[in-house]
Amino acid sequence: MPYTTSKELPEIVDELNDPTEKTKDIINSLPRPLKNAEVSKALKNVYPDEEFIGWGSEAIVIADRNDPETVVAYHLNHPSITGPFGPSKTYHINNVLHNIFPHNFPKLKAVWGGETPVTFRRRILEDQNAAITYPIESVLYFFESLNNPLQLDIGSEDHFIKSSDGGEYYVDLVFNNIPSVYFTSDFANEELFTLGLMEGGKLKPSVLQLLDEKQKTAVLSSLERLKEISVMDSLNYILINPERFKERFDPSEIDKLFTKVGIAKENKTAIRNVKRVVEKMTTDDISLKNDTLENLEKLID
């Protein structure tokens, strides 16, 4: 991997998360509102080997020591990335957006889960004087046209960077709430689980016209994965809480979950992927798990 592989918090992240006398006076001496560039310059005297990029209520971002083109965000207070499927869902949502709008969403290279989730993305160099050719507003209008508004935190100017390539980049993560399929209404369909980008198992024409073949392949791969994750997430929650769902969940009707998210019964690979993950799930109701696996196997046969 080209980027840092240790999951231990760097000292600068630990310090900024819970400031001590080492940095309190430095930060308190800076003018308000705090500017990331000024904080970075001030911290250089204390941490000469680290480069502070930015921070907020949910993450602290530093440059990767081993790769100058990568920034590392330590998400200290963001429940969307936690849980067994949070990291994977986060990665695939942002991968979809990057491939459709490469000048608005930086490439997300990796997402690590755990107590303190960590994300790695391509670094965007700021050029405040750059003319914007690819405004973020066009992205928002595009998703509104699909009747699936994109949820971006537009309250902070630090979330946006103008670049010399004409891009206006959103450098926070997107945590669009793609639901677990079991907990949606019977009227939910594939669009709900694919950011409104797919219908009838295909990308919508308005999406296709934005993509070359490589981007199309990447987008389809991630959207199909998001469908699978929605089913996995549902089954995991049911198996963790078997008493709550024993009278409500019928494993013999598990095919309905795949149909609702838009996974065709012919897609044996997707069903196998779900079955493989269910096999590793823990539950107090082994019988319910075995019934679930048995019915998944029937869909594969």
The interaxial angle of helices 213-240 and 86-100, nearest 10 deg, is: 160
283 belongs to a structural domain: yes
Cα distance from N-terminal residue to C-terminal residue, the chain: 39
Q: Are residues 80 and 39 in the same domain?
A: yes
* Structural contact between residues 115 and 105, judged by C-beta atoms closer than 8 angstroms: no
- Residue-range definition of the domain harbouring residue 80: 11-170
Domain end position, chosen among 129, 151, 170: 170
In a domain, 256, yes or no: yes
Domain end position, chosen among 170, 191, 223: 170
Which pLDDT score is estimated for 1?
40
Q: Does residue 108 fall inside a structural domain?
A: yes
Mutual orientation of helices 286-300 and 213-240 as an angle, nearest 10°? 150
Per-residue pLDDT of 45-84, as tens digits, reads: 999 999 999 987 789 999 999 998 999 999 987 777 888 9
Claim to verify: residue 164 and residue 185 sit in the same structural domain: no
Last residue of a domain, one of 142, 170, 198: 170
**One domain, residues 278 and 209:** yes
Say if residue 157 is in the same domain as residue 113: yes
Question: Would 81 be classed as within a structural domain?
Answer: yes
Residue 157 lies in a domain: yes
Judge whether residue 4 has pLDDT over 70: no
Give the type of residue at 190: E
**88-128 pLDDT per residue, tens:** 999 999 999 999 999 999 999 999 988 889 999 999 999 99
Residues 36 and 165 in one domain: yes
Q: What percent of the chain has pLDDT over 70?
A: 97
Cα–Cα distance, 148 to 140 (Å, whole number): 10
- Count how many domains the chain has: 2
Which two tokens mark 159?
């979330």
Task: Examine the domain organization and report whether 16 and 156 are in the same domain.
Answer: yes
